[in-house]
A = this chain, B = another copy of it.
Amino acid sequence: MNGTAIARAHPNIAFIKYWGNADERLRIPSNGSLSMNLDGLYTETRVTWFNDADRDRLILNGQPTTGPALDRVVRHVDQLRERLGLTGKVEVESRNNFPMGAGIASSASSFAALTVAAVSAAGLELPEHELSALARLGSGSASRSVPGGYVEWAAGGTHQSSFAFSIAGPDHWDIVDVVAVVSEVHKDVGSREGHAVASTSEFQRERVATATSRIDICRAALLDRDFSRLARVVEHDSDMMHAVMMTSTPPLFYWLPGSLELMSAVRRWRAEGLNVCYTLDAGPNVHCITTSEDADEVESRVRSLGCVHTTLRAGAGGPALVVG
């Protein structure tokens, strides 16, 4: 078998967070989550299958790469080989058009693009929900970077039932994510290790038990384009996840002083009438969620704060696609 394909996938920002797995190996999450793909930012990945190669290879942002990054790619491709009955080795050439350490996790877009490219290069056509479930095996949130626009990942309980689907296309609403980068230092504890300790927090069980109701509120707010309802549930869910993180063993503090300054400013700006709310992933950078109408004002206010190094801006993005 020989074949090649190029796929592009966007990173995504979760409005209702994924934190903790019911099944660590299969990355079946403890709770469902809800996100928006980030337009303009993408990982582009070319996968080529070789029958005659003796090992998988990875070229990351132009550099032949071994070590943990290659290991993770090999483990994911092993899953694809096993589940899809594929043989042969791959060469994976991947690059992001957004900088590392800019507050955007690249694992979601990377494993979504890798999965879609590898399947296409193998000459297979799979329905979106199967691609999403397969991408999930590489990185949980990658399942959400397969469908387009506003995306829900139902927790499911098995490999087949744990996939993401679009609840509204990117054109449904002009939500904008203004990312305030307060630190470009790589985080001490990555989200993979973090997921594994989520259950040590006394609060994780209640966070999980109540996630469905927050998803319902968030989905309805998105479908109704009701920003103030969206804002409350998005901030609350982010605060709940960080509360779990900070009370786990070991405690995980992703917030920096600048994160707290931003969060407080965002709440104040919203009280003053701007459509803006915050959400933070497993890192210190603050995603300021706003609408295209208020995005300039939000970005200018964000940049005026001394703790902000730089900003990045993205609207709602489309699905992962084969582009070559």
CA distance A182 to B73 in the complex (A): 46
Task: Count residues of chain A with CB under 8 A from any CB of chain B.
Answer: 26
User: Which residues does chain B contribute within 8 Å of A257, judged by CB atoms?
Assistant: 257-258, 260-261, 307
| Closest CB in chain B relative to A140 CB, distance in Å | 22
A239 and B235 form a contact (CB under 8 A) = no
A235 and B256 form a contact (CB under 8 A) = no
Which label, helix, strand, loop or mixed, suits the secondary structure of the A interface?
A: helix
Contacting residues of chain A (184-241) with chain B, CB-CB under 8 angstroms: 202-203, 205-207, 210, 235-236, 239-240
Binds B, one of A6-14, A15-23, A247-255: A247-255
* A255 contact from B210, B235, B240, B260, Cβ within 8 A: B260
Q: Does A60 contact B (CB under 8 A)?
A: no
User: Which residues does chain B contribute within 8 Å of A205, judged by CB atoms?
Assistant: 206
B239 and A247 form a contact (CB under 8 A) = yes
A243 and B236 form a contact (CB under 8 A) = no
CA distance A307 to B203 in the complex (A): 31
User: Which residues does chain B contribute within 8 Å of A307, judged by CB atoms?
Assistant: 257
Q: Does A167 contact B (CB under 8 A)?
A: no
* A243 contact from B247, B258, B261, B263, Cβ within 8 A: B247
CA distance A203 to B236 in the complex (A): 12
User: Which residues does chain B contribute within 8 Å of A59, judged by CB atoms?
Assistant: none
* A207 contact from B202, B246, B258, B261, Cβ within 8 A: B202
- Nearest-CB residue, chain B, relative to A209: B202
User: Which residues does chain B contribute within 8 Å of A244, judged by CB atoms?
Assistant: 243
* A247 contact from B236, B255, B260, B264, Cβ within 8 A: B236
| Closest CB in chain B relative to A160 CB, distance in Å | 31
CA distance A97 to B205 in the complex (A): 45
B251 and A260 form a contact (CB under 8 A) = no
A203 and B243 form a contact (CB under 8 A) = yes
With A205-B206, A261-B257 given, is the CB distance from A246 to B251 under 8 Å?
no
User: Which residues does chain B contribute within 8 Å of A235, judged by CB atoms?
Assistant: 251
CA distance A205 to B239 in the complex (A): 17
Given A202-B207, A205-B206, 12 additional A-B pairs, CB 8 A: A202-B210, A203-B203, A203-B243, A206-B206, A239-B246, A240-B247, A243-B246, A243-B247, A253-B260, A253-B264, A256-B260, A257-B307
Closest 10 CB pairs of A and B: A257-B257, A243-B243, A203-B203, A257-B261, A202-B206, A257-B260, A239-B246, A202-B210, A239-B247, A240-B247
